[in-house]
Amino acid sequence: MKDKKLRSVFIIFIAWALMAVPSMAQTEKSQEPKPDKEPLEITSDRMRSENGGVKIIFSGNVISYKGDLKIVSDILEVYNSEDTKETDEIVAIGNVIITRGLKKATGDKAVYIDKLQKIILTGTPKATAWEEDSMIEGREMIFLLEKDRFVVNERVRMKMYPKDKEEKKPEKKKSKLTNKNQPSFPE
């Protein structure tokens, strides 16, 4: 009799567990952040809030993440809407490095507009973007994140290597003479 009671409790427990697992899995899936609602994570040496949190300034070794997008800079200003307190715009200033997957871009200033999923990167004298060894530079780059495209303005220069991994890249020759007016690519 004790065995029958134990078996029935065990069967009830197993039945309950089998019914509960799918509902728990659905709950866990519904709690995963949606791509457009990913959290903004920022670390820095200092932080200052102004206007009741409408403007937040991070300074010193700033590293920020939003999904697979990483922005490193000296200063990061976050502008939130007054009514909803949601992030409208992020401005990164000084030694800006943006990475997303294998793509990387550098410049002096970047403005990220959340609603448009757009980053405007500028640099003095140039902003540079590259994927693996291929690179492109110009004074202004506009990244359209949702479309995975970008536009480069103001004196564009591009250097692309073939995608074939077996083909060797030409050896870089070092010249003793340099022309300061000619833009150069970092090595």
pLDDT in tens, the chain (187 residues): 555 554 554 455 444 444 444 444 444 444 444 445 788 899 999 999 998 889 999 999 999 998 889 999 999 999 999 888 788 999 999 999 999 888 889 999 999 998 898 999 998 768 788 887 888 889 888 988 888 888 888 888 888 888 765 555 555 554 444 444 444 444 4
Other CB atoms within 10 Å distance of the CB of residue 185: 14
Domains of the chain, earliest start first: 36-159 (2.60.450.10)
